A and B are shown apart, each in its own frame.
Chain A
Amino acid sequence: MRALVVEDEARIAGDLAAALREAGFAVDIAVDGREAEYLGATESYDAVVLDLGLPGLDGIAVLEAWRGAGRTMPVLILTARDAWSEKVRGFRAGADDYVIKPFRLEEVVIRMKSLVRRAAGHASTIISCGPLSLDTQLGVFTLDGVALKLTAFEWRVLSYLVHHAERPVTRTELSEHLYERDTDRDFNSLEVIIGRLRRKIGRGLIETVRGQGYRLSAGDGA
């Protein structure tokens, strides 16, 4: 899962990014409206934290620009103004949820997880695929009820696959949602991770779709 944090206050941005990374997100940070607009329009994010009071370009304008360009990723807005009119303004521009400043970091992380989950079409906080299930709020994978031990990166890969279970995910798509900006994207190491995951959860769940990618599926076992 990859998230964009748009916040001009460096300390808050840093804290948010750290909390989101802790929760398994790959996080990019934008510190002004222009940069945010560019990143949101060109990179693939699973969710965005957007502060409304931004230098350069107002948060609402950034959001409208994204929606105008057809970007549909869920957006959580941060605002200091606790008025319903302000919330209405945000939702009209295309926001999916909001958090009032000052906020608790855990609150934002929980909301972001919910947004990602709902955007992938899952109503329940627990996503299951055959014997595998993910408690999105706790961030714990279980296989037949037994907790899995995963590295951070393995967790990130499996989390993306389980959110998008039953459909093929190309390597490019997968890498776009796993790596932060300015990090090397290496298909070979991805291949290695998939191999390790298959060993941990059983070969049948992650299929290789001929030509390009993978599919997590309850498959014939279910």
Chain B
Amino acid sequence: MIASSIRTRLVLLALAWIAVALVVAAFVISGLLRQFVEEGFEASLDSTLIALMASTEEDLALGRITVDAAVADPRFEQPLSGWYWQIADEDAVLLRSGSLWTDDLGAGAEAASGAVLRRTLQGPEGMALRALSRDFTAPGGTSRLRVTAAMPEAEIEARVAGMVGPLLTSLVLLGAGLVLAIALQVHFGLAPLKRLRDNLGRVHRGELPSLPAERYAEIAPVVEEMNALIAHNRKTIARARTHVGNLAHGLKTPLSVLDTSLARPPGPERETALAEVSASMNRMIGHHLRRARSAITHGVVGERSDVGEAVADLVPVFAGIYADRGLALETELAPGTVFAGERQDLDELIGNLIDNGCKWAKARVRVSAARSGPREISIIVRDDGPGLSTEDARLALERGRRLDEQRPGSGLGLAIVSDIAGLYEGRLEIGPGETGGTEARLILPAPPLQ
């Protein structure tokens, strides 16, 4: 549960990234600090060298060299302090700091003229030393001298350690601050999702009729879709309930006719009554099945059905059914006319419209379809029959009419079309055609244009 939450996932990812970044930063910064500290100490050693070189004189008469002013730093006088200097020629150490006592710092490698020679060495008592040397010739002298100054490595390490400690502490604090910030960001950033979940729970428990609208662009469409789905579910259930009720109610009438007929003596009169009952029950079942079917299949998000394909598949059916009538079935379909719904419902819609047209037509039925708006298509079926009066058209479309008043034929089909179209929030309009006959205009939703 915890491992599979987006929140944990986000926090863990941030933690990993922060840890890597901070470790890298610690290494880089402490490296820079060490370099900085070393450069500082070496600069001071080098200035000691330069001071020694400047105050050294060679007395050729006496055959010795002198340093006329001692180096001021007292550490060079404190014995074995780790801070040493010496001046040597190629053979022996000529002068040394008081701290060095009788030891020496060694000669070191050859160095280019004027360059500073840097080395580390083991000094007196095995102390690790950092040493700088310069070669020079003292004023008044001829021999080549090498001046060397040294300091303890430990002092560099101590200084570096003194700086890295606080650095690490502050990096850890920074890391902690970042993690806290991420946690807060995740918490507040994901709050709408949590709210969505809570609201869904409330809808589920029946405390809310639908999800409250969300203003965030990432969630708003989800909420809309869910609300559409919830509304559709509710509608479907309501319809199913109505259907079952209507069907059960509707069947009671023929059943009672059946009962009374059975009480009669056998004979042609009873036969006729029974046939009528059977026919009426059959009509009723067919009617309800059709409505129930489209109520079940409708509402799937993202359904697309091509009107051209549906018509192309239906035309041979009518060619078969009305083969003897010699009707001309003409089609005029704009390519890419797509219905945002189930193919089965589209078949039912167009099939019933064309069937109705064919029933009334004298010689021709014309089917045309095209997009008629950004989110709608129109399917128009015209016939050259006698035409429908306004009253007939109204009756044909009227829903909720009592079933036992419905005769088989055009009325039923058009009522079904109107019904299914209503489910898709489309509509069916019936009126006189421009050149006589009847024109049925079906408006249906289309998927949004790309």
Contact = CB atoms under 8 A, between A and B. Distances in A.
Interface residues of B, number: 22
B365 to A, nearest CB: 15
A82 B347 contact: no
Contacts of B344: 83, 85
A27 B323 CA distance: 24
B324 A88 contact: no
Nearest to B354: A84
A87 B316 CA distance: 10
A84 B326 contact: no
B282 A102 contact: yes
A83 B324 contact: no
B313 interface: yes
A215 B35 CA distance: 118
Interface string A189-214: 00000000000000000000000000
Nearest to A81: B289
B320 interface: yes
Contacts of B351: 84, 87-88
A85 to B, nearest CB: 4
A185 interface: no
Contact of B348 (A85, A98, A114, A125): A85
B320 A91 contact: yes
B296 to A, nearest CB: 12
A96 B347 contact: no
A98 B317 CA distance: 9
Contacts of A69: none
Contacts of B282: 102
Interface in A151-206: none
Interface in B298-350: 313-314, 316-317, 320-321, 323-324, 326, 343-344, 347-348, 350
Contacts of B347: 83-85, 88
Interface in B259-297: 278, 282, 286, 289-290, 293
Contacts of A84: 314, 317, 347-348, 350-352
Contacts of A92: 313, 316
A98 B316 CA distance: 12
A102 B351 CA distance: 20
Contacts of A82: 286, 289-290
Contact of B324 (A87, A95, A98, A114): A114
Given A91-B317, A96-B320, A125-B324, A85 B343 contact: yes
B283 to A, nearest CB: 11
Dominant SS at the A interface? mixed
Given A88-B314, A92-B313, A83 B320 contact: no
Contacts of A85: 343-344, 347-348
Q: Is the interface of B mostly helix, strand, loop or mixed?
A: helix
B323 A83 contact: no
Contacts of A114: 323-324
A85 B290 CA distance: 12
Nearest to A89: B313
Interface in A119-166: 123, 125
A118 B323 contact: yes
Interface string A64-77: 00000000000000
Interface string B138-167: 000000000000000000000000000000
A114 B320 CA distance: 11
Nearest to A97: B320
B321 A97 contact: yes
A137 to B, nearest CB: 10
Given A91-B320, A102-B282, A118-B323, A83 B348 contact: yes
A94 B317 CA distance: 10
20 contacts: A82-B289, A83-B348, A84-B314, A84-B347, A84-B348, A84-B352, A85-B344, A87-B317, A88-B313, A88-B314, A88-B317, A91-B313, A91-B317, A92-B313, A95-B320, A97-B320, A98-B321, A114-B324, A118-B323, A125-B324
A-B pairs, 5 with minimum CB distance: A84-B351, A84-B347, A85-B347, A88-B313, A85-B344
Given A83-B290, A87-B317, A91-B317, 6 more contacts: A82-B286, A82-B289, A83-B348, A84-B352, A114-B324, A118-B323
